[in-house]
């Protein structure tokens, strides 16, 4: 009887550990820590192609943006992962996993939750420059059992249970026929640079991630996988929520502004004295994405209400997603037509056609051209004033085009519009704020 009681207690303790371990990273980092974000087109990026012109890079980013918006189509089914485009991310981030630590380079993605990397043994893997992570060589790697919190946090369409070994597996298929499959596991993550400078890296045990043993498709060979920064329970920021007080932020600079990287900050490194605009985050399904409510857009002093269309969801709460992985900004099609008309009336320059036929509103880039400030008005009184370099792109030496495009689906505030803002997320207060910042000198 005593032996049976001991066995039951041991089993309960093991199960309780598996259920609670997803919340194990609870040490608070009082001053926060940061990590470099490298734009894929930055001169310091391993993906940088010196043979491409700035115009080539912009059009490539345009095509990636168009592909990526497929993942945000408002079906709001739990199978939303099926529309993801695998190489849609724009920023690369380096972390280390395991003991001893192995450095991995992944796509930092606010539109994904589960962090996953390619792992040995590899049934099928895409070509990768760096060595694959081998869980057998890590003393801190732990398999996750079926029926536990980390496993159940996956959607039914993504979760597979190995009944023979009682281990939890994941399976993601992407809209471009790329895929990743593997084991859900726990591992030690080492991230960033501590702002106190007392230690160079900050480590967290028992973080949930995907160890991919079967991966293929259009992934770039410089990357090991995806680092999920979305709002779902398995994302890196949600798993670190107690340690970073639910706060993270980033300050994005234009990829061609300097060879420096941008910054992703976990917690709060330093308080800004600049005035910021804050708006509520809206709960919507799927929880991965960061939804806010856009109420109006102004061109100069002309305010255009957003969402007065009976056939669209533009008037609903949470009608736009903030996404670091999309370059362009997408707005509801009917509203876009009004915005384009207002801009054409405000810009005293000759309208011309994009030679590639992709962008609708283009002008001759004369030296004296004046491009107006475009202000996004969000709920809660937040006003984000976008300068010309947030909303227009030079596509030829003598031509600029509006980098806002129409969409029949959910709207997206892309990373070009977020350039030179400190974008701060507070997942406890459920707010996001925008502070005008010179991100190139905010290091």
42's tokens: 């930055």
The CA distances from residue 73 to 61, 70, 118, 130, 235, in Å, are: 19, 6, 28, 34, 21
What's the length of the chain?
443
Q: Strand, coil or helix: what is 122?
A: coil
CA distance 220 to 224: 9
Per the CB < 8 A criterion, the answer to whether 419 and 253 are in contact is yes
The answer to whether residue 109 is catalytic is yes
Query: Which residues lie below 8 Å from residue 418, measured CB to CB, with a gap of 6+?
Result: 252, 322, 324, 390, 434
Name the helix (H) or strand (E) containing 302. Answer: strand 302-305
The answer to whether residue 323 is catalytic is yes
CA distance 58 to 109: 19
- The active-site residue, picked from 83, 109, 113, 220, is 109
Instruction: Supply the DSSP string of 183-217, one letter for each residue.
Output: EEEEEEEEESEETTSS-S-EEEEEEEEEEEEEEES
Closest CA to 373 of 348, 391, 394, 393: 391
Longest distance between any two alpha carbons in the chain, whole Å = 90
- The active-site residue, picked from 323, 354, 398, 426, is 323
Q: What angle do CA 78, 118, 67 make, to 5 degrees?
A: 50
**Residues involved in catalysis:** 109, 323
């Amino acid at each position: 009887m005593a032996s049976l009681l001991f066995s039951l207690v041991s089993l309960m303790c093991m199960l309780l550990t598996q259920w609670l371990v997803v919340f194990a990273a609870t040490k608070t980092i009082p001053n926060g820590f940061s990590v470099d974000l490298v734009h894929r087109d930055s001169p310091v990026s391993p993906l940088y192609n010196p043979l491409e012109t700035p115009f080539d890079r912009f059009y490539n980013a345009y095509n990636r943006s168009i592909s990526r918006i497929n993942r945000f189509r408002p079906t709001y089914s739990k199978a939303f992962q099926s529309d993801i485009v695998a190489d849609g991310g724009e920023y690369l981030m380096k972390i280390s996993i395991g003991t001893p630590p192995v450095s991995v380079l992944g796509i930092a993605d606010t539109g994904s939750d589960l962090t996953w990397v390619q792992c040995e043994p590899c049934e099928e893997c895409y070509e990768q420059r760096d060595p694959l992570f081998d869980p057998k060589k890590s003393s801190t790697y732990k398999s996750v059992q079926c029926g536990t919190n980390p496993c159940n946090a996956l959607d039914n369409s993504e979760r597979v249970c190995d009944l023979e070994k009682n281990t939890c597996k994941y399976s993601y298929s992407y809209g471009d026929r790329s895929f990743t499959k593997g084991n859900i596991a726990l591992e030690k993550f080492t991230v960033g640079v501590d702002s106190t400078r007392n230690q160079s890296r900050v480590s967290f045990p028992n973080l949930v991630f995907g160890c991919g043993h079967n991966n293929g498709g259009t992934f770039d060979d410089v990357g090991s996988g995806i680092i999920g920064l979305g709002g779902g329970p398995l994302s890196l920021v949600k798993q670190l929520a107690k340690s970073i007080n639910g706060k993270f932020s980033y300050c994005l600079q234009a990829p061609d502004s300097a060879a420096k990287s941008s910054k992703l900050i976990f917690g709060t490194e330093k308080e800004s004295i600049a005035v910021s605009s804050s708006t509520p985050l809206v709960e919507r399904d799927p929880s991965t994405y960061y939804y806010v409510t856009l109420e109006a857009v102004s061109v100069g002093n002309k305010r255009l209400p957003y969402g007065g269309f009976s056939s669209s969801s533009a008037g609903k709460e949470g009608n736009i997603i903030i996404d670091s992985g999309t370059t362009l900004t997408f707005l509801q099609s009917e509203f876009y037509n009004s915005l384009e008309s207002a801009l054409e009336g405000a810009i005293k320059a000759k309208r011309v056609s994009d030679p590639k036929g992709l962008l609708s509103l283009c002008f001759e880039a004369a030296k004296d051209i004046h491009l107006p400030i475009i202000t996004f008005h969000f709920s809660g009184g937040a006003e984000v004033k976008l300068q010309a370099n947030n909303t227009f792109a030079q596509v030829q030496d003598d031509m600029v085009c509006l980098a806002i495009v129409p969409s029949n689906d959910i709207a997206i505030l892309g990373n070009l519009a977020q350039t030179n803002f400190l974008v701060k997320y507070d997942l406890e207060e459920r707010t996001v704020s925008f502070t005008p910042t010179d991100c190139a000198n905010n290091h």
